[in-house]
Amino acid sequence: MIPFPTARTAAGAGPVSSAPAAAKAHVAIREATRSYVARDTGRPFHALGPVSFDLREGEFFSVVGPSGCGKSTLLDLIAGLCAPSSGSVHFEGRQIAGEVPDGVAVVFQEDASFPWLTVYDNAAFGVRRNGLPEKEIRERVDHALSFMGLAGFANAYPSQLSGGMRQRVCIARAMVLRPRLMLLDEPFGALDQQTRLLMGEEMLKLWRDTGSTVMLITHSIDEAVLLSDRIGVMSSRPGTFIDIVETGWSRERDCKTALDPRYGALQAQIWGMLREESIKAMGVKP
């Protein structure tokens, strides 16, 4: 396996069991809000915030919240896909406003594979824009495809693959970029439960191997508890953080972590916070 040059090793720090509270802020969000004028009603729509929190370098952070609470908007702000209406977002000390910075990769919920390119060319697409030598590109792509279990499908077209495999193509494309910050916008949302669990394990492995910071948006409490160092629990729209929960898992976690007695307690704690918010989001009285 090719070792990844990572933010963590570049900073000279050794492997850490779980992101300690003292770790430096990779992304700093201060009083960020997002509102826009709704196209159909013409009224201003307050989608998110104000939100303030830090993503620590190298941590696995999940965001859970009721549907429509602005989780994806939060991800867009951090990715630079949209600019905050007020407040600020800093990535590695530089302010982000509506421009995706270098070192950030996003995997979207929808299938974003390019149907006119082979799996190989899909995975190589982003890194080819960076002017790397072809040999380096080949090494990275081959590694990413075998990591994602797509080694035998390099010459296939996305139309020949299942939904889960296409999503893996998109993850491989992001992985090849060697991002220091990986943003995942419910990338397993459309997959069946079994595939989802397996993809979760893949993501853990990827996170451990690359040492990059990961933020995962999900609507599954199970997924969040199992995968994360910390879980941000959001309120219904306009979404703000009700609480940020530390799981305290070791870096070497896997699906057996679910057997830990703390696992159930964490699930119950988060569901306790989310239940009322979800009811509010549904628009019915408790």
Partner 1 sequence: MIAAALPHEAVGQADLKHAWLRHRVAVLRAAVVALAVLLLEAATRLGWIDQVSFIPPSRMAASAWHILWSGTYKADILLTLYAAGLAVILAVTFGFLFGVLLFKLPRLRRVLDPLLLSYYAVPIFVLYPMLIVLFGLNRWPLVALGFLFAVVAMAVNTLNGLERVPAVLLRTARMLRLGRAQEVRLITLPASLPFVFTGIKLAIVYSFIAVIGGEFVLSGAGFGYQIAYAYNNFDNPTMYGLMLLLLVFVGALNLLLHAMEQRLYQRRVLKELT
Q: Which residues bind partner 1 (CB under 8 A)?
A: 79, 81, 100, 102, 104-106, 108, 110-112, 114-116, 125-126, 129, 157-159, 163, 166, 177
Nearer to partner 1 among residue 50 and residue 103 (C-beta): 103
DSSP letter string, 112-143 = ---TTS-HHHHHHHHHHTTT--HHHHHHHHHH
* Residue 275 CB, nearest approach to partner 1 (Å): 31
- Cα Rg for the chain, rounded, in angstroms? 19
* Residue 57 CB, nearest approach to partner 1 (Å): 21
Please report, as a single letter, which amino acid is at residue 94.
Answer: R
Nearer to partner 1 among residue 167 and residue 247 (C-beta): 167
Residue 161 DSSP class: S
How crowded is residue 257: how many other Cβ atoms within 10 Å of its Cβ? 17
Instruction: Please write down the long-range contacts of 186-191, taking CB distance under 8 Å and 24 or more positions apart.
Output: 186/72, 186/109, 186/217, 186/218, 186/219, 187/107, 187/108, 187/109, 188/218, 188/223, 189/109, 189/218, 189/219, 190/109, 190/110, 190/111, 190/163, 191/163, 191/164, 191/167
Cis preceding linkage at 50, omega within 30: yes
Nearer to partner 1 among residue 125 and residue 263 (C-beta): 125
* Residue 272 CB, nearest approach to partner 1 (Å): 34
> Strand order in 25-37's β-sheet?
44-56, 25-37, 86-91, 94-95
Nearer to partner 1 among residue 64 and residue 127 (C-beta): 127
Rounded Cα–Cα distance for residues 32 and 201 (Å):
32
Parallel, antiparallel or unpaired: strands 44-56 and 94-95:
unpaired
Nearer to partner 1 among residue 1 and residue 40 (C-beta): 40
Nearer to partner 1 among residue 145 and residue 273 (C-beta): 145
Closest CA to 6 of 282, 259, 206: 206
- What tokens appear for 19 in the block? 């992101």
Nearer to partner 1 among residue 65 and residue 158 (C-beta): 158
* Residue 115 CB, nearest approach to partner 1 (Å): 4
* Residue 88 CB, nearest approach to partner 1 (Å): 20
* Residue 209 CB, nearest approach to partner 1 (Å): 21
* Residue 176 CB, nearest approach to partner 1 (Å): 11
